[in-house]
Amino acid sequence: MTTMTSAIDEIEYEGMLFGRHLAALPAGRTRRKGGLLDQSAYTLLSLLDAGGPASLAELAAATGLDVSTLNRQTAALRRSGLAERFDDPDGGQARKLRLSAEGARLLGEERAASRVLLAELLHDWSEADRARFGELLGRYNRVIEDRSKRHWPRP
């Protein structure tokens, strides 16, 4: 049995568990039981919500996904009426993607359900502990973004 001897050991192990627990929550990666958004849709809609309209190249730069993958994912969002394409006023023939009214509504509904679940999980944490956890998680994410050169917009 491996013994954790440093903070890095603990962070590595707990990070693995964090990812596993998120995937195993009753709502799974769809954010809530019966939710209509899978993880990729939730992520892309959240990105568009926080950062505004974006081209496939801009989405690729933020997510690290290739354009062909994003093309499939955004086509599914458009078919579902959750996002819409429009001509980029600054880009000639370039096109951008933005949330539709339905996409914004459904994202808000899914986000609210996710926040309810988080509040239930952290019900016995003090507000100071919740704030500190959010601060540290944000700091950790920004370090990863700096290293990967893929910065995510924040609301």
The residue ranking higher by pLDDT, 103 or 89, is 103
Given a cut of 90, whether residue 26 has pLDDT beyond it is: no
Tokens 């704030």 correspond to 131
Task: Confirm if 114 and 32 have CB atoms less than 8 A apart.
Answer: yes
Q: Give the other-Cβ count within 10 Å of 45's Cβ.
A: 23
For range 62-74, the mean pLDDT: 93
- Give the amino acid at 139: R
d(CA 6, CA 12): 10
Predicted TM-score (pTM) of the model is 0.83
| In contact, 114 and 43? CB cutoff 8 Å | no
Phi and psi at 86, nearest 5°, equal: -150, 160
Question: Chain-wide mean pLDDT for the chain?
Answer: 87
What is the arithmetic mean of pLDDT over 29-57? 82
CA 144 remoteness from chain centre: 14
In terms of pLDDT, which residue wins out, 155 or 65?
Answer: 65
Q: What is the DSSP letter of 82?
A: S
Distance CA 57, CA 10 (A): 37
At residue 138, the pLDDT reads 93
The answer on pLDDT for 96 being more than 90 is: yes
- State the Cα–Cα distance between residues 148 and 142, nearest whole angstrom: 10
User: Which pLDDT tens digit goes with each residue over 132-153?
Assistant: 999 999 999 999 999 999 988 9
Question: With contact defined as beta carbons under 8 Å apart, do 62 and 51 qualify?
Answer: yes
Return the percentage of the chain with pLDDT > 90, whole number. 58
